[in-house]
Amino acid sequence: MKYLIPVYLKFKLSIVVILSSIVFGFVLPGYAITGRVVFESGQGIPDATVILVNSSNSEECFETRTDSKGNYSIEVSEGLVKKPKSFDVHITGKGVYPYHEPGVVFSSEDHRDFIVQATDLWDDNRIVLRSSMNNSRFQFSQGTGRVVFMGGSITNMPGWRTHVEKYLAEAFPETKFEFIEAGIPSLGSLYHSFRYQRDIISKGKVDLLLLESAVNDGDKYNRTDNTVRTRAHEGIIRQARLANPEVDIVQMHFLSGAYYNSDYEKDELIPAFLAYDTVVRPYSSSMIEMSRYVAERYTWEEFGGNVHPKGDAANIYADNIIAMFTKSWKNPLPQDYKKFSYPLPPLVDKFSYVNGRFVSIDKAYDISGWSRIESGVPKLKKNREDFTDRPLLSGKPGDTLKFNFKGKLVGVEAVMYNNLGRLKYSIDSGKYTGVVDTKSNLSLYIGRAYVFEEKLDDGEHVLTLTVEPASSDSTGEVMILNFLLN
């Protein structure tokens, strides 16, 4: 609750200063108290109100607001005798849990930073807790914990992830954490649903999964519609819960320029995010919708460049994730707490990628013309490191191969680049056919999941692949890293 300062107190203090000037011919000497108001990640808080009230004389009080970077400065009258003063500090602001610290001693020209918590999201449903998050909390209290950070480049780069890792390590100082940093730049939920077995389940039992793919799911390279988003997210979440029914899961919605809108209607999610929430709700997974939070406080020029937060802006994400933990874990863990298994609901979409997985190119047969290269992706400065030094099949126009499989879905993990070619597929002797293009306008080699068909019967099938003729602006080459199955 904001500390209210009676107007007459300020008026009375001003009269004292004026009379002193008249009687003694000078203004009472003073000094400046400066500092910053920041969230736990170090992100400065603009336009926060800072109030200092003398601990022994409430008539002496000062008020100011922070600038755009969270800095404040207060001129404090010192009196004829120089000595430290004790003040009760009150800080309020949008996005700030009301802060009160009594008896803070300030000396002449003191600099003091104040760390506050971000909690206003709890009042408008932007952080939605659908469980206590106590399963992971209990596990962490036992001395070990495995936490997965899955997402794109914002998760891959230092920023919100490193702050959350630091918070957890400090909150559970006796715990040996394994942080699985599974962010791959440029990739969204479709790709993640097929890599989850290889990159996450293979590492062991996961206690907490933090999942973000909203930014890359909306870009022009991944081209995922709401149906694919639903199937991919259910695939990830269900795989996670099948591997460990006790895992806590948090779905996070970050912001990009494509999603930016300063006029979000209250309590209305961006349509793309509704697809995610359709899935996470029945699985009792929590959700943090930070895009609207950012858009209501910053212009895109202030917050980001292209798709990434710039500078310390990513700390805003960390602050709200940490706020989720501090809110859900504010009360002591019950002494008799036992971890529980989350129930598996009926499938939201019967074609979701709940068995999504990669299958080795070694399973191909009747190979005509394709070359196996053990480290086929060139090492360029901007390459995604996840796709270099990996074996692949390189095909030129006219090359063919076959692959036998069982399941509803088949596709390939193929390399995408600005001069690569097209791949024709045929399933069950032409019953299903189509062509995918592995050419992009990026000067960047990156893997991508190409789904051919996903509503097949569960029986046995034969896939035939043929590299299409080269076009005027491509070499025609196609590079396959894995097959995809569900």
Model confidence pLDDT, tens digit, residues 300-359: 777 777 677 777 777 888 888 898 898 888 888 888 888 989 989 899 999 999 999 999
Cβ-contact 421, 471 below 8 angstroms: yes
Structure tokens at 341: 């298994």
Residues 6+ apart with CB under 8 A from 121: 95, 127, 288, 293, 320, 323
- Per-residue buried b or exposed e for 381-399, using 16+ beta carbons within 10 Å of the residue's own CB: eebbebbeebebbbbebeb
pLDDT of residue 347: 92
pLDDT of residue 24: 45
Q: Which residues pair with 101 in a beta bridge?
A: 89
| Strands of the 71-77 sheet, one edge to the other | 71-77, 30-39, 114-116
pLDDT of residue 11: 47
Look up tokens 């010192």; give the residue. Answer: 78
Structure tokens at 161: 């992830």
Look up tokens 């899935």; give the residue. Answer: 279
- Per-residue buried b or exposed e for 190-201, using 16+ beta carbons within 10 Å of the residue's own CB: bbbbbbbeebbb
- Sequence ranges of the chain with CATH classification 2.60.40.1120: 7-117
Q: Which residues pair with 71 in a beta bridge?
A: 36
pLDDT of residue 129: 78
- Sequence ranges of the chain with CATH classification 3.40.50.1110: 121-328
Q: Which fold has domain 357-485?
A: Jelly Rolls (2.60.120)
Q: pLDDT, tens digit, for every residue of 89-140? A: 888 887 676 677 777 887 766 788 887 766 544 444 567 777 888 999 999 9
pLDDT of residue 78: 59
**CATH code matching the domain that covers 121-328, chosen among 3.30.56.10, 3.90.180.10, 3.10.150.10, 3.40.50.1110:** 3.40.50.1110
Which pTM does this prediction carry?
A: 0.74
The architecture that CATH gives domain 7-117 is Sandwich (2.60)
pLDDT of residue 21: 47
Average pLDDT by stretches of 10, the chain with 486 residues = 44 48 49 81 81 83 89 74 75 76 75 72 61 92 96 83 94 96 87 94 95 76 76 95 96 72 48 72 84 74 76 80 86 88 91 96 97 75 66 95 97 92 96 94 84 95 96 91 97
